[in-house]
Amino acid sequence: MDDFLLLLLSTLDSTLRVSAPLVLCAMAGIFSERSGIIDISLEGKLLGSAFAAAAVAAVSGSAFVGLGAAIITSILMALLHGFACITHRGNQVVSGLAINILASGLTVTLGGAWFHKGGQTPTLSGDARFSPITLPGADFLSEIPILGSIYVELISGHNLLVYIAFLAVPVTWWVLYKTRFGLRLRAVGENPQAVDTAGISVTFLRYRSVIIAGILCGIAGAYLSTGQNAAFGKEMSAGQGYIALAAMIFGKWKPVPGLLACMLFGFLDAMAVRLQGVAIPGIGEIPVQFMQALPYVLTVILLAGFIGKAIAPKAIGRPYVKER
Amino acid sequence: MSVERIKAQGPDAVGGQSAPPPSIELPAIELKAISKSFGPVKANQNVDLKVLPGTIHGIIGENGAGKSTLMSILYGFYEADSGEILINGQTKKIHSSRDAISFGIGMVHQHFMLVETFTVLENVMLGAEGAPLLNKSSQTAREELLKLSKEYSLAVDPDAMTGDLPVGLQQRVEILKALYRGAEILILDEPTGVLTPQETDQLFKILDILRSRGVSIILITHKLQEIMAITDRVSVMRAGTMVSERETSATSKNELAELMVGRKVLLEVDKTDANPGEILLDAKNLSYREDGITKLDDVSLTLRAGEIVGIAGVSGNGQTELLAALSGICPLQTGSIDIGSVQITPHALKNPKEFRELSVGHVPEDRHRMGMVTAFNAQETAIMGFHEDPAYNGKILMDNKAVQEHCTRLMQDYDVRPEDPKLKSANFSGGNQQKLVLAREMDRRPEVLLVGQPTRGVDIGAIEFIHKNLIAMRDAGSAILVVSVELEEIMSLSDRILVMFEGRIVGEVAGKDADARQLGLLMGNAGTQSKSSEQQNNNNTTHSEEISA
């Protein structure tokens, strides 16, 4: 029984680790898309900021300076997206794709030029990384059965950015539904003309939304290279930006369902690792590749058939032009 | 507030005169020499306008006359190239909608500026929330909203989802939105375009109340009867200029029509008695269900050569489905249609193309959705549905020259302007688009012609032309079915009128004897309307995207 609990807890524990960047990116996607700007550049921002965090942390020796660099990089990429889509009314998917390609090429090129490690950044250690935080009372509470183990194994012992990621969900919800900015943001994604005729600038509102998306992606990127791992590796985002996008759509552009979707994908990923090489009675050993493919297969199945119609914000993808 | 001002300015302000002429009052709005161009198009040229406080001022003009542009300038959507705006006698610069709102101007747009997924309260608050956090401001907004609804008898549930409300109520939300922002001057742009006759009556009652509370209202429309029904004064615009201003009580529909178009217009349709011949189309017991809702309920009708049959009814009572069934767009579920010697039943269906080959022409209700592809150029629109005709095709490629010649001829015969076959369909005015679609269908001389909303969003001048052509076609021996939400149009065109209600034909009246009141009772089935007004909501959302330059 105890073994089972520990196994379960450690699987859930790695679920949290794996889903943290997904959650951040999904929240970023919600901010951008609820304002009407399609954001497939989540992936590019994630990769770009992961590189910036690792590179700057390696040089400065501080994870926080790295985090700052990651956020700035990601905001710049978001502004580029905004400039193309909001100011110049370009196609949002094309612009997003361009940013993804740019990030994928530029990180390797710059990494190779600066560090001469084939696109990798130097391995980080000490203060250059976000290290696990032991929450207060962990020693004391570990004595208590079950609840204690949950606290120690599952809740305590993550790095700062994981906590930020999960805190981002209630904050996103609060901003969207409880603030003036959120009301306007949701309105501009549904009917920008209504916002314009109410005397509010559509452009400024949308820029602010994509900038927030940039900040959140920046944190996610820093987590990848200076929290979860100890260096930047080529293409290390590995499609997680897209998975987050899928999770956000799966969650119907809402923060809490989006979180649950991210955690489902994170859980599948954690399971895949856990079940590698394990023989299941009656089935036998499941091939590693199958488990690794499972989250993606499930995404397709879920998106295609099970969640029903995901109703997107009405004005999504449409540049706002004053009609005459 | 403005009420008090009017009172304060009463007789004393003018000295000896007992009944002061209204023009001495300070206008709530005064526009002086407003001009605005979009590239080479002069949308407004030296336009002057005075709106007196506490009155309803109508602005009438054809589509593209510049009414909407003028109001957009007043509401800060565009800035005028030159000219001056005075509000309550003071010169104001309006750079944005925010400025306009702060000067007490509110606008109800033709297409509602509402977020459908928001509650009524959220829509009313948007842009005027007060504090950055919603908790407190939504509480005060709710109280204010309820107070306003009571004061102006504009009942609406603050927590209802806006998109679920019928169109009439959505419009009410727009009016409340403006009042919530403290509007003392309310602009309504073609407010009745999407309303049923009942909802229109309701709206006019509301406007009346607003006027009595001292709100100044500008009503933009191209419908003459509305001007006559509700306004105090009326200004007429034509081709970007203000051509004249009249006291409503001192003018007539005919005079206004003439001012709008710039020549005499026949408002009545000139026609002789019908001379019905053989039965060309005989539909029996048509029923049609969609998503479990009965749209057509045992409808039978016959169309004879040389007659026009009109279908009257509040939109959403099965007219759309009837046209779809008779043109082959919806496959029959029950019943039969005899066209000449051919019988169509649920077991022997024909597709729309085969219906065309049986000489059934169809001018769809919604020309943008079904009548044309707005991105195609005129000559492509002119052959749509007939594009496989060998006359337009070479061995492999289309014969563009033949297509162009055909289109040019249609444009000449049906007075489509500008006469440019290469122009994108979207760039024609509503009336010219409709004439092009009508030309395509009528030019083939079909034995049976089905016409949905022949003049929706069409200028008066073009309406006259379209009506004349339909009558001419009838006299040449075609059977014509007209579906229209404009009761006047049905009454003046039809030789026989069928009234539809909830998918059934509930009455038949000879065209000569028709009486609007009697038809109105049949249309409402003298009973409840709730269901049909809901359907109306769905049917009307896409219509009437008029080109207004």
Q: What is the pLDDT of residues A139-176, one digit of tens each?
A: 787 778 788 888 888 888 899 999 999 999 999 999 99
Q: Are residues B355 and B233 in the same domain?
A: no
Record the tokens describing residue B378, joined without a space.
Answer: 């005129």
B455 occurs within a structural domain: yes
Instruction: Characterize the bridge pairing of strands A284-285 and B90-92.
Output: unpaired
- pLDDT (0 to 100) of residue B3: 40
Residue owning tokens 């996103």: A172
Q: Are residues B145 and B168 in the same domain?
A: yes
**How many Å separate Cα A283 from the centre of its chain?**
34
| Among the partner residues B76, B116, B131, nearest to A190 by beta-carbon distance | B116
Q: Cβ A314–B117 below 8 Å, yes or no?
A: yes
Per-residue pLDDT, averaged over B386-405, amounts to 91
Lowest average pLDDT, out of A178-182, A211-215, B317-321, goes to B317-321
A105 occurs within a structural domain: yes
CA of B121: which chain A residue's CA is closest? A183
B159 occurs within a structural domain: yes
Q: Cβ A324–B109 below 8 Å, yes or no?
A: no
d(CA A64, CA A218): 12
Beta-bridged to residue B106, according to DSSP, are B186
List chain B residues with CB under 8 Å of A184: 126-127
List chain A residues with CB under 8 Å of B139: none
List chain B residues with CB under 8 Å of A190: 115-118
Beta-bridged to residue B301, according to DSSP, are B283
Per-residue pLDDT, averaged over B199-219, amounts to 92
d(CA A322, CA B68): 14
Find the CATH number of the domain harbouring B451.
3.40.50.300
Q: Are residues B62 and B143 in the same domain?
A: yes
A91 occurs within a structural domain: yes
A17 occurs within a structural domain: yes
Q: Are residues B94 and B235 in the same domain?
A: yes
**Mean pLDDT for chain A?**
90
| Among the partner residues B77, B101, B118, nearest to A187 by beta-carbon distance | B118
CB interface of A with B, residues 207-226, below 8 Å: none
| Among the partner residues B38, B75, B96, nearest to A324 by beta-carbon distance | B38
Q: What is the pLDDT of residues B124-167, one digit of tens each?
A: 999 998 889 998 889 999 999 999 999 888 889 999 999 888 88
Q: Is the pLDDT of residue B90 over 70?
A: yes
In what side-by-side order are the strands of the sheet with B105-108? Answer: B105-108, B185-189, B216-221, B56-60, B233-238, B241-247
Q: Provide the domain count of chain B.
A: 3
Q: Are residues B167 and B195 in the same domain?
A: yes
- pLDDT (0 to 100) of residue B527: 44
- pLDDT (0 to 100) of residue A42: 97
| Among the partner residues A178, A184, A196, nearest to B97 by beta-carbon distance | A196
State how far residue A21 is from chain B, nearest Cα, in angstroms.
29
Q: Is the pLDDT of residue B543 over 60?
A: no
Q: Is the pLDDT of residue A46 over 60?
A: yes
Q: What is the pLDDT of residues B6-45, one digit of tens each?
A: 333 433 433 334 444 444 578 999 999 999 988 877 889 9
B269 occurs within a structural domain: no
Q: What is the pLDDT of residues B47-83, one digit of tens each?
A: 999 999 999 999 998 877 888 889 999 999 888 999 9
Neighbours of B264 (CB within 10 A): 8
- The pLDDT confidence band at residue B210, using thresholds 50, 70 and 90, is very high
- DSSP letters for B191-210: TTTT--HHHHHHHHHHHHHH
B202 occurs within a structural domain: yes
State how far residue A314 is from chain B, nearest Cα, in angstroms.
9
- pLDDT (0 to 100) of residue B20: 43
- ∠ CA A214-A220-A221, rounded to 5°: 85
Nearest to A183 by CA among B146, B132, B101: B132
A146 occurs within a structural domain: yes
A75 lies in which domain range?
8-129+136-306
CA of A188: which chain B residue's CA is closest? B115
Record the tokens describing residue B496, joined without a space.
Answer: 């026989």
Q: Can you tell me whether residue A117 is helix, strand or coil?
A: coil
Q: Can you tell me whether residue A157 is helix, strand or coil?
A: coil
Q: Are residues B44 and B147 in the same domain?
A: yes
A212 occurs within a structural domain: yes
A313 occurs within a structural domain: no
Give Cα separations from B148 to B183, B210, B424, B446 (angstroms): 12, 11, 46, 55
Q: Are residues B147 and B240 in the same domain?
A: yes
Lowest average pLDDT, out of B3-17, B35-49, B399-413, B514-528, goes to B3-17
- pLDDT (0 to 100) of residue A307: 63
Q: Are residues B482 and B408 in the same domain?
A: no
Q: What is the pLDDT of residues A226-272, one digit of tens each?
A: 999 999 999 999 889 999 998 998 888 999 999 999 999 898 888 87
Q: Is the pLDDT of residue A73 over 90?
A: yes
- Identify whether the C-beta of residue A162 lies closer than 8 Å to the C-beta of residue A20: yes
CB interface of B with A, residues 111-130, below 8 Å: 111, 113-118, 122-123, 125-129
Q: Are residues B170 and B42 in the same domain?
A: yes
Q: Are residues B34 and B108 in the same domain?
A: yes
B55 lies in which domain range?
24-261
B176 occurs within a structural domain: yes
Nearest to B362 by CA among B206, B370, A87: B370
Q: Cβ A191–B128 below 8 Å, yes or no?
A: no
CA of A205: which chain B residue's CA is closest? B127
Q: Are residues B436 and B450 in the same domain?
A: no
Across the A:B interface, residue pairs with CB atoms under 8 Å apart total 82
Q: Are residues B244 and B307 in the same domain?
A: no
A315 occurs within a structural domain: no
Q: What is the pLDDT of residues B315-360, one digit of tens each?
A: 778 999 999 999 999 999 999 999 988 999 999 889 999 999 999 9
A322 occurs within a structural domain: no
d(CA B454, CA B364): 9
Q: Cβ B78–A324 below 8 Å, yes or no?
A: yes
Nearest to A50 by CA among A219, A269, A240, A215: A219
Find the CATH number of the domain harbouring A210.
1.10.3470
- pLDDT (0 to 100) of residue A305: 67
- The pLDDT confidence band at residue B546, using thresholds 50, 70 and 90, is very low
Per-residue pLDDT, averaged over B512-517, amounts to 82
**Mean pLDDT for chain B?**
86
> What are the residues whose beta carbons fall under 8 Å from the beta carbon of A87, sequence distance 6 or more?
A203
d(CA A253, CA B137): 25
B8 occurs within a structural domain: no
d(CA B105, CA B188): 11
- ipTM for the complex? 0.88
Q: What is the pLDDT of residues B368-387, one digit of tens each?
A: 888 999 899 999 999 998 98
What's the one-letter identity of residue A174? W
Q: Is the pLDDT of residue B191 over 60?
A: yes
- What percent of chain A has pLDDT above 90? 67
